[in-house]
Structure 1
Amino acid sequence: MRVLQAGSVLLLAALPLWGQLKQLEQLFTTGTARVGFISSEEIRKRFPEAQQAEQRLRSLADDWQRTLEEMGTQITRLEEEIRKHRLIWTDEERRQKETELERLRQQREAFFRACFAPGGRYDSAAAAIYRPVEAKIYAAVQDVALAEGYDFVWDKSRHPLVFANPRFDLTVKVLKRLGVETKELEAQQQQQIEQLERQRKEGGSEEPRRRAPRRRPAPGEQPPEQEEHPTEGERPIPR
């Protein structure tokens, strides 16, 4: 769980959804909260340092995976050797090979856990490699939010939004703050804004027709007779 604060800006980086909603509710009760959102996934995808960090981590994981495959090959060969020669070996020879096989299996399992189990080498390497990158991203978010006067920044990559006005998408501005070229993404955002404006204008031009409410008759007053409209079967057939 990580909450970053700078000035009057609140950025919830990994707070559970319920906690984010409570913080958002508290801000809205003041009546002055200004909320924006980002896509951290889009930022990482376009931020070169994030891509380099991902490549470094993938390279480490690939090295460990190759080691596991080599150990698995040794185990397979020894299993095949035992299967072929178990009937011609002495009991002592067979026990030695089976002991060696068990040792290799345990060694491979221990290596796998050390590398890929929760809290293992992979998690430690990911934290060390991504920490400076994440710090730069969140610092850029803070700078943009403060400059634009936002009180709350929501990360839609962690918790998707049912609807969000693209005008309040700060992803492009954060990427610019990080020195990333954003012409393509900026054009896409502008198209989304214009499309939303067109939809609003088209929706506002068609006012729904409303029926006038019926007046209830006063006590003792006869209700007005309703005009009877013949059904399709009762209508006269034109000649």
Structure 2
Amino acid sequence: MRKQFLFIFLALIAANTNEAQTRSTRIGYIDMEYILENVSDYKESKSQLELKATKWKQEIEIKKLEINKLKENLKTEKALLTKELIEERETEIKFLENEMLEYQQKQFGVDGNLMRQKAALAKPIQDQVFTAVQDIAEAKNYDFIFDKSSDLTMLFSAKRFDISDQVIRILNRTEKREQLTKKQLKEQEAKENIENAIDENPAMADRQKALDARKAAREKLVQDRKLEQEAKRKEYEDKRNAIAAEKAAKKNGTVSETTNTTGTAKTDTTAKPATTTPTEPTTTTEPAVNKAEERQKLYEQRKKELEEKKKKILEEREAAKKAKEAETQKTNTTNN
């Protein structure tokens, strides 16, 4: 019984050893400089520090200009100065130069304010990066993770082993989680699971990239169509506004119309010509206060003139008819 138990135990140990030997070693690396440049808090603090550095440089340049001016003055006046005055001025210039160099070293030296403040800015982010790297290593069974930007010399590093983007996503997730509601947290977790699956499966990552590219192309097409529709709508609105403006200009102007009516008498060739006096032209000029009222007035006036003209023509025809009948009757009487 003991021999059987010992045999099983040794077999299990051998199996575990073979599995450990056959399992490939997982290695990854990060680029700390790349990560820092893509963290918003670090970028803002770095911008403020760069403003300080610019101010320090300006102060150094001012000191240099002052020193150069003193040197030029000494060179110009050297022939007129005594030896003691020359030595005094040279000593002053030397003192100012040393003072400027000390200030430059204080601000931009190896242990200067710029380097110390940079390190102070990077320290909190670096701590977060180290924590994120440990989480990734434990979750994905990494054996080694190196820092590409450190003193470690990496002669070659394949991009597929770079986990810097994963670290950046973890840092951004931590920042976003503090501002999300419960519902948004669930949505964010689902999105994170998809991103993790993509990181684990390169083929899935390629498919996701293709889907993202197609989605971006569709969105661009939709955006282009919207812009085209907006341009057409704007063109239509401009035309409509131009027509409305033209109508308004006509409406606000002065309308003058002249109506000339001339009566014409129709007489028979055998009857005496009936003379008629043409009616005087009627001119109506009124300001277009109300276009509808003005049109109504013109219509009534024209209607009245036509009725008068018609009445006059009928009267002339009736007179001609009576004259013809009288002449016919007179002729018949004479013949009898």
TM tier, shorter chain?
0.5 to 0.7
1:126-145, Cα deviation, whole Å (9 max, x unpaired): 22222112112222222222
Is 1:123 paired with 2:123?
A: no
Higher relative contact order (CA 8 A, sep 6+): 1
Per the alignment, residue 59 of structure 2 pairs with 67
Contact 1:53 1:130 in 2 (8 A): no
Where 2:28 maps in the other structure, the secondary structure is strand
**Aligned equivalents of 1:135 and 1:52: distance in 2?**
18
* Matched residue type, 1:123: M
**Aligned equivalents of 1:44 and 1:115: distance in 2?**
22
TM-score for the superposition, normalised by structure 1:
0.56
122-131 or 53-62, which deviates more: 53-62
Unmatched segments (≥5 aa) in structure 1: 1-27, 198-239
Alignment counterpart, residue 169 of structure 1, candidates 149, 162, 176: 162
Compared CA separation, residues 99 and 77, structure 1 to 2 (3 A):
same
Unmatched segments (≥5 aa) in structure 2: 1-19, 177-190, 207-336
**Aligned equivalents of 1:86 and 1:173: distance in 2?**
67
* Matched residue type, 2:121: I
**Aligned equivalents of 1:152 and 1:66: distance in 2?**
45
Is 1:88 paired with 2:85?
A: no
1:1-239 superposed matches below 5 A? 33-158=25-150, 159-160=153-154, 162-164=156-158, 166=160, 168-179=161-172, 193=202
140-149 or 101-110, which deviates more: 140-149
Per the alignment, residue 13 of structure 2 pairs with none
**Aligned equivalents of 2:42 and 2:137: distance in 1?**
21
Contact 1:35 1:152 in 2 (8 A): yes
* Matched residue type, 2:100: R
Q: Pairwise CA RMSD of aligned residues?
A: 3.4
1:94-151, Cα deviation, whole Å (9 max, x unpaired): 3332221111111111112222222222222222222112112222222222222323
* Matched residue type, 1:55: S
**Aligned equivalents of 1:97 and 1:165: distance in 2?**
61
* Greater share of residues in helix: 2
How many residue pairs were aligned? 163
TM-score for the superposition, normalised by structure 2:
0.42
Per the alignment, residue 8 of structure 2 pairs with none
**Aligned equivalents of 2:138 and 2:118: distance in 1?**
29
Moved over 6 A (4+): none
C-alpha displacement at 1:74, in angstroms? 0.6
Question: Larger Rg: 1 or 2?
Answer: 2
62-71 or 38-47, which deviates more: 38-47
C-alpha displacement at 1:163, in angstroms? 4.7
C-alpha displacement at 1:161, in angstroms? 5.7
* Matched residue type, 2:141: G
**Aligned equivalents of 2:100 and 2:84: distance in 1?**
24
1:157-192, Cα deviation, whole Å (9 max, x unpaired): 4444635362x43222211111179x9xx8xx98xx
Contact 2:107 2:113 in 1 (8 A): yes
